[in-house]
Chains A and B, each alone.
Chain A
Amino acid sequence: MEKIEFDYSKYDFKNSTAKYKILFNEGLSEEVVRRISKLKGEPEWMTEFRTNAYKFFVKRPVPEWGADLSKINFENITYFARATDKKTNNWEDLPEDIRDTYDKLGIPEAEKKSLSGVEVMYESEVVYNSIKKELEEIGVIFCDTDTAIKQYPELVRKYFGKVVSPNDNKFAALNSAVWSGGSFIYVPKGVKVPMPLQAYFRINAANMGQFERTLIIADEGADVTYIEGCTAPVYSKDSLHAAVVEVIAHKNAHVKYITVQNWSSDVYNLVTKRAFAYENAFVEWIDANMGSKVTEKYPSVYLMEPGAKSNVLSVALANKGQHQDTGTKAVHLAPNTSSVIRSKSICLNGGRTTYRGLVKVKKGATDVKSSTRCDALIFDDFSRTDTYPYMEIDEEESTISHEASVGKIGDEQLFYLESRGLSELEAINMIVLGFIAEFVDELPIEFAVEFNRLIKINMEGAVG
């Protein structure tokens, strides 16, 4: 079988680290953590939070139940880098090489289409942040998390680290200790944000860990959609990305969080994403994982109060040398809550996908409904796909269902399409795009176009 490696050069905007104003030596210690905090001019409680988290990080073992993480060397990671000293609100003021990079990614176009205030992350810090007047008028706060700590200290302190505690797992602890950048969003009571909020961010220098921290709060009856998209340049040494995303959806609120990820194939992407959904709130995770060496990501929803709902839709594609260990957790803590989980995975050229999910129903959470569906496409016999759905049910009055299927593209399907004049690759593309269509439907049009293109690029190696 012909093997074609995924051409990442299209996204290769590698810049030299010489341009960084401040670059910490590789390695981590409590001292480094304190220095990061001091450099950022953070309040005492945050410094405390970071150093506590560092202690948890040291104590916690590297998880062994999932993908192989033994190759991560925590000493070889630069924990903080600042690209430019000043922040800017104006596209034209950005340094030229950074602007070039994002021109290639098509940000100004997205801007033109009035998608939203663009927030660009370059290295560990948000350097570009344009907030539309529209947002300010309706009282929506959308900024980077560092700024939020300075400008809205009470609000941040109330929610920060409450959904994902620093002791949750080793990588959440690491993030809590050295986090930098990320988005902060607060939507006041009853406000519906009219457009999706977007953040583009990327990793750049080799060995540079990215530890962004995103916090989204939707107050009672609020409605917000957030989109994050990642592209990363190619580099040779392993790089670590350990983000934490916390979402709080208060009574009757709706939060939709869309991620399209396409890491370069040397990145360890170990992300903790969790949402609390209160009374009648609705939380959606729409999540695509492509690229990276190892991804471990399980967006979860804790259904805290009656009537809360969750919907998680994810796509994972593992190409050569990649392991996508992804899944979802739905934890039902209150009566009349419901969750829907749909997962689609594709593996080819020796890639490996794993679905690892948990549906948990606590005692007293009556009349819970939960449904899970996992489908996997496997292209060849050196790829691998696993499904591990955990179901822990402590309450009789709950209805839980799970379904999964694994298979290759049917010969008769291919034969039919080829008999209609399509080439084998065109036929495969058509079937795969159909397989993930319900996911693509959830994306804004610009993303959908890019996403379909990425899938097609990956499929080039599938004809054999």
Chain B
Amino acid sequence: MKSKSEPDWLLEYRKEEKEAANKLNLEDRKIFLKYVERESELYFDEILEKNKELDNLLYYDKETFKDKLDIKNIKDLEKKPEQFYKFKDLDKIEALINSNFEEGFVITFKDGIDITKPFIIKQSADSGKKITKIILVIGKNSKLYIDDEVDSSKNAYSGQNLYIVLEEDSELNFMLLDKSKGRSITNIRLITKGRVNFLSLLTNENMGRNRLWVNLLEHSEVNIQQGLIGSNESYFDVESEIIHSEKNTNSNLNYKAVLDNSSKAVYKGVIRQEKQAANSYAYLSEHSLILDKNAKSISVPSLEIETNELKAYHSASSQPLDKEVLFYAMSRGLDKNAAVKMIAEGFIESVFNKAENATFIDTLKNSIESKMEYLSN
């Protein structure tokens, strides 16, 4: 299966994951099985051998992070790291990646660090497949910025399982930018006792499957801002699942999508407040702007509530371009194309309004702008 140099536990693990993949569904929730029409395109056979030298995956300023982190290649570990036990596979695709990842790291950040320079994960594939698994452990009392960029070229295939454990009194600022031209899978799973600010912008041009799963432990908080721009034939399958499993937890999720041409987006939002999640608060909002009559939007913003000591809200909408706003913009001298772009840009940008980090905001805005250039109207 993999190169002979891998330790026995890892070979065993890959085998177990392969069996799990055979057993698991494409979706962990039955209610979403209705929307898996194109998921089978994401299956892949096992990677028989390493196709080539992988590009560098991790980028960070050696000086800044000196003595602050510990990076281990999974293949060099003598036994199965404990984090492997914390996350149980949710669906078939996640298990597939776990069974076949080509490169994997366990990265441990020390307690009490405060670094504003982002730690960068670059998941870029030029051709073939690039399948990775990364585990990040962030210690107590820390503040950290992580930038995850996914970019695969047209015929490439990118798959990423990213597991993050955040300890108490820490803050994680995370940005995901997926501008793949090929197929892309991103599974991000977080267990947090601290505060997480999560930004993501998806502008895939082919097929993107994005999963965000957050498990909130006592006194934790997550703020999620997700933007999505669909053009041409792109297809998105996005699911964000927030589990409030302990008391005093807060979640806030905002999602906005602009869909042009024949793009299609399926958005599944789940907020689950379990029995022990007393005194928790959840908010989910989901809004789509549809620019073309061939674009399609499906959304299921769901709530599952098992405690009464809470407040939970969600709101969702889907709308066409407001003709009055368009007329106004055009009356100020913009041609229709430019006016549409300006309105759509404003719509999508507003989802990131609350974000704090200037570097991330600039990157996001630039990406939105350059993507908008492509939209043809």
Contact = CB atoms under 8 A, between A and B. Distances in A.
B370 interface: no
Contact of B315 (A383, A384, A403): A403
Interface in A144-179: none
A386 B271 CA distance: 9
Contacts of A398: 318-320
B307 interface: yes
A392 interface: yes
Interface in A389-425: 389-408
Given A380-B308, A384-B305, A384-B306, A404 B300 contact: no
B265 to A, nearest CB: 10
A184 interface: no
Contacts of B278: 381
A390 B300 contact: yes
B312 interface: yes
Nearest to B278: A381
B7 interface: no
Contacts of A376: 305
B314 interface: yes
Given A391-B298, A396-B292, A401 B315 contact: yes
A386 B320 contact: no
B275 A381 contact: yes
A406 B310 contact: yes
Contacts of B300: 388-391
Interface string B103-138: 000000000000000000000000000000000000
Interface string B303-331: 11111111111111111100000000000
A169 to B, nearest CB: 14
A378 B319 contact: no
A385 interface: yes
B30 A386 contact: no
A interface majority secondary structure: strand
Interface in B338-377: none
A103 B206 CA distance: 68
A396 B290 contact: yes
Contact of A408 (B288, B292, B309, B314): B309
Contact of B290 (A65, A382, A393, A405): A393
A404 B315 contact: yes
B223 interface: no
A387 interface: yes
A211 B288 CA distance: 42
A36 B121 CA distance: 69
A406 B303 contact: yes
Contacts of B298: 390-393
Nearest to A360: B298
Given A381-B307, A391-B298, A403-B314, 19 more contacts: A381-B278, A381-B308, A382-B275, A387-B314, A388-B302, A389-B301, A391-B318, A393-B298, A396-B320, A397-B293, A400-B319, A402-B315, A403-B313, A404-B312, A405-B313, A405-B314, A406-B303, A407-B310, A408-B308
Interface of B: 30-31, 34, 275, 278, 288, 290-293, 295-320
Interface of A: 64-65, 363, 376, 378-408
12 contacts: A384-B305, A386-B304, A387-B301, A387-B314, A389-B300, A391-B297, A392-B297, A396-B291, A396-B293, A396-B320, A402-B301, A404-B301
What are the nearest 4 A-B pairs in CB distance?
Answer: A396-B290, A402-B316, A387-B303, A408-B308
